[in-house]
């Protein structure tokens, strides 16, 4: 994410591209590396500059997020436990899948909502829910709730900030992207450190 101009990318791909990225990042194996949080926030900021229509943008993102999670659920439901035996590849991260499984086991159904705000984990959590045979009606309720909160929340946050302080665009967007990257790295490293400490304690 540090290596491309995200605002320019958003303007280039337009609404269809934004929807496709959100859809893929929400429930397809290869979507885990796509810029979810930063995309939403930046798109909302650009909408405040009249480069996008916020009334089209928010519903588009919410629907794409809900549909993406639903596809992830059915993928996991159809493949079942076999999905955990799949080999690691560029398009599939077994480590991320196991992190999502751990997240799902610790938080239960509400993990579908919480995972929306955790990079990488949000891609694989609906897949894990499907593999665990979570009742689809229950999953859908959490899916819609999470899709609305995440999709509208981050997008509107960017929009509101763009409306109140449009002159900070030059410095804000890079700072926001850097912040989300730091958060992403943190959510990946902290669980590993925690497991290492727990394992070390159990050996003493």
**Interatomic CA distance for residues 145 and 48, integer angstroms:** 25
Q: Is residue 1 part of a domain?
A: no
> How many domains, in total, are found in the chain?
1
**If residue 163 lies in a helix (H) or strand (E), which one and from where to where?**
helix 136-164
Q: What is the CA radius of gyration of the chain?
A: 17
pTM of the model: 0.76
Range of the domain at 36: 6-203
Residue 177: predicted pLDDT: 55
Which of 8-17, 76-85, 113-122, 146-155 is predicted with the least confidence, judged by mean pLDDT?
Answer: 76-85
For residues 124 and 79, the answer to whether their CB atoms sit within 8 Å is no
For residues 46 and 10, the answer to whether their CB atoms sit within 8 Å is yes
**Interatomic CA distance for residues 69 and 15, integer angstroms:** 19
Tens-place pLDDT, residues 8-21: 888 889 999 999 99
Q: Is residue 180 part of a domain?
A: yes
Q: Is residue 84 part of a domain?
A: yes
Which tokens hold the place of 19?
Answer: 């929807």
Q: Choose among 130, 131, 155: nearest CA to 142.
A: 130
Which tokens hold the place of 155?
Answer: 């997008």
If pLDDT is split at 50, 70 and 90, which confidence band does 1 have? Answer: very low
Q: Is residue 139 part of a domain?
A: yes
Residue 16: predicted pLDDT: 95
Q: Is residue 198 part of a domain?
A: yes
β-bridge partners, 92: 89
Greater model confidence, 36 or 198: 36
């Amino acid at each position: 994410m540090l290596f491309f101009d995200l605002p320019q990318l958003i303007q280039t791909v337009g609404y269809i591209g934004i929807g496709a990225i959100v859809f893929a990042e929400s429930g397809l194996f290869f979507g885990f590396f796509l810029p979810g949080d930063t995309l939403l926030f930046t798109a909302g900021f650009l909408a405040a500059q009249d480069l996008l229509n916020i009334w089209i943008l928010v519903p588009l993102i919410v629907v794409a997020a809900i549909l993406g999670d639903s596809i992830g659920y059915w993928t996991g439901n159809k493949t079942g436990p076999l999905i955990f035996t799949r080999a690691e590849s560029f398009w599939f991260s077994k480590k991320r899948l196991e992190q999502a499984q751990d997240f799902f086991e610790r938080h239960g159904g509400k993990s579908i909502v919480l995972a929306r705000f955790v990079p990488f984990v949000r891609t694989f959590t609906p897949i894990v829910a499907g593999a665990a045979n979570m009742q689809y009606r229950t999953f859908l309720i959490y899916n819609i709730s999470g899709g609305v909160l995440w999709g509208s929340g981050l997008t509107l946050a960017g929009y509101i900030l763009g409306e109140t302080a449009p002159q900070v665009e030059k410095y804000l967007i890079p700072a926001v992207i850097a912040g989300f990257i730091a958060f992403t790295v943190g959510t990946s490293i902290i669980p590993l450190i925690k497991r290492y400490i727990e394992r070390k304690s159990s050996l003493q």
